[in-house]
Structure 1
Amino acid sequence: MPQTLTFFVTLRSPYSYLAAERIAQIVAKSGVQLDFRPVYPLAIRNPEFFSKANPALLSYLRRDAERVAVMNEIRFSWPNPDPVVQDLDTGEIADHQPYIYRLTRLCAAACRSGEGFECHRRLSALLFSGTPGWHTGDQLAAAMSHAGLDYSMLDQMVRDDPHQLDAELGQNAELQKSLGHWGTPMVHVAGETFFGQDRLDMCVWHMIRQGLLPAGADRALQKEPDSDIS
């Protein structure tokens, strides 16, 4: 039985978007089985987190994500609108959230047919690659149809079964915590947990040590360009 790489993401996390193509490369090179697990963003799971955090946190995270994208030559722009409605000055999360529940449930619905990772890649690329008005018209449907995903079927599942999808997302979050962290992106493979896109190099190092990747895979992966799936 092949080893499993469990990958936790949210659709609000820029780092989840920035990590996705590297994860695709790692899985392709290693042959491990990808266990994709979307969760709701921390801002939804713990609405008080940002309002109680140091005020510099959000501004630093925004600048840092932009640097990571430039350094890795990944197309990047902040979603407009933000999938989580939040006052970025105070950290306060709005009661009404018209986007993030639907987006995350779409990913959870896609997971039922093994298409969750591809759904995440397409939706996060739509959000973070500078698409204006990503929430308008048929842009969600078009982004997913480019990957062969049946948007109308997934959207109907979201409409018909939101509570069960939320239960599945909650199970993902509980598994995430049991593996040692709560943030995204997070990877668990061969008994070790790695939080953050800046720990993917360490994840590759660990997989080489475990015989899941060949020696030199770290250098080879660094040379591979990121795919443009937007």
Structure 2
Amino acid sequence: MTDQTALSFDLYWSFRSPYSYIVAQRLLALRDQYGFTVNVRIVRPLAVRSPEFFEERDSRWIHYVLIDVAREAERLGLPISAPSPDPIAQDLSTLKIAPEQPRITYLNRLGVLATQSGDGLAYIAAASRRIWGGASAGYETPWTDDGALDEAAHKAGLDPDWLSAEADAQSDQIDAQILENEANQDAAGHWGVPLMVFNGEPFFGQDRIDALLWRMAQSGLKLQ
């Protein structure tokens, strides 16, 4: 009999991606159901890694993404609101990206450390719900307020004060880990998030979870 916990895959994931938010909620529930392991790999948003990507997009692409994200969240019963503030500094009228990105840098460091020291999937699921759920999830204050992400740290089994302090103290090592994650993501065959990689095979998008489970079943995952 296959040990379900021995089955694992990498999840390349971004705090700025609404689809990453959606996939984290779904994978957390599926992990509880099936017992597989999710190796969270935090990467910087594509808007930060490749600012020209957004500047070169047809405006209809952005419009469609906004429609689709709201629709998918509604279909899956998930709260969704525009994050306040945006995890990255970007002029949405021109799509220009600011050179300094303190909010996403801090989030990324918290996320990487949480994956290294606690339950990374639980952390990103709770933190992204706080960021992307917003008022729709009953939150009345910005996610940047003091203590707003404490619940996410507790969900990961970590002390929030320790997590924040160590994210600062270990910033150089964590930033290097993020760059390594991005290099491994590129090597896996895709640049976008969420990207799941099982046995070297990439599955891009929250709408590829069923395909991922199907492939994992071929390696012994017992689907219910």
The two structures have a TM-score, normalised by structure 1, of: 0.86
Counterparts of 2:86 and 2:15, CA distance in 1? 10
Q: CA RMSD in A?
A: 1.8
Choose which of 92, 95, 98 in structure 2 pairs with 1:91.
Answer: 95
Choose which of 147, 158, 161 in structure 2 pairs with 1:149.
Answer: 158
Question: Aligned in 2, Cα 1:28/1:146: closer, same or farther, shift over 3 Å?
Answer: closer
Given that 1:47 and 1:93 are in contact with CA atoms closer than 8 Å, whether structure 2 keeps it comes out as yes
Choose which of 152, 160, 167 in structure 1 pairs with 2:169.
Answer: 160
**Matched AA of 1:199:** R
The match for 2:84 is 80
Counterparts of 1:31 and 1:136, CA distance in 2? 34
Aligned pairs, number: 215
The match for 1:51 is 55
**Matched residue of 1:71: which SS?**
helix
Counterparts of 2:36 and 2:200, CA distance in 1? 14
Question: Does 1:62 pair with 2:61?
Answer: no
Given that 1:85 and 1:97 are in contact with CA atoms closer than 8 Å, whether structure 2 keeps it comes out as yes
Given that 2:194 and 2:204 are in contact with CA atoms closer than 8 Å, whether structure 1 keeps it comes out as yes
The match for 1:197 is 206
Counterparts of 2:155 and 2:196, CA distance in 1? 27
Choose which of 12, 17, 20 in structure 2 pairs with 1:16.
Answer: 20
Given that 1:186 and 1:194 are in contact with CA atoms closer than 8 Å, whether structure 2 keeps it comes out as yes
By how many angstroms is 1:114 displaced? 3.6
By how many angstroms is 1:153 displaced? 1.0
Given that 1:26 and 1:204 are in contact with CA atoms closer than 8 Å, whether structure 2 keeps it comes out as no
Counterparts of 2:115 and 2:214, CA distance in 1? 28
**Matched AA of 2:142:** G
By how many angstroms is 1:22 displaced? 1.8
The match for 1:173 is 182
The match for 2:191 is 182
The match for 1:25 is 29
Moved more, 53-62 or 123-132: 53-62
**Matched AA of 1:36:** V
**Matched residue of 1:110: which SS?**
helix
Question: Does 1:212 pair with 2:221?
Answer: yes
Given that 1:76 and 1:129 are in contact with CA atoms closer than 8 Å, whether structure 2 keeps it comes out as yes
**Matched AA of 1:140:** L
Given that 1:55 and 1:90 are in contact with CA atoms closer than 8 Å, whether structure 2 keeps it comes out as no
The match for 1:139 is 148
Counterparts of 1:146 and 1:111, CA distance in 2? 12
**Matched residue of 1:56: which SS?**
helix
The match for 1:224 is none
By how many angstroms is 1:171 displaced? 0.7
**Matched AA of 2:170:** D
**Matched AA of 1:35:** N
Given that 2:15 and 2:107 are in contact with CA atoms closer than 8 Å, whether structure 1 keeps it comes out as yes
Given that 1:119 and 1:149 are in contact with CA atoms closer than 8 Å, whether structure 2 keeps it comes out as no
Counterparts of 1:145 and 1:30, CA distance in 2? 23
Deviations along 1:151-202, one digit per CA (max 9) or x if unpaired, are: 1111111211212111001111111111111111111113421000011121
By how many angstroms is 1:37 displaced? 0.8
Given that 1:55 and 1:89 are in contact with CA atoms closer than 8 Å, whether structure 2 keeps it comes out as no
Moved more, 110-119 or 6-15: 110-119
Counterparts of 1:87 and 1:57, CA distance in 2? 17
**Matched residue of 1:121: which SS?**
helix
Gaps of at least 5 residues in structure 2 are none
Counterparts of 2:120 and 2:166, CA distance in 1? 14
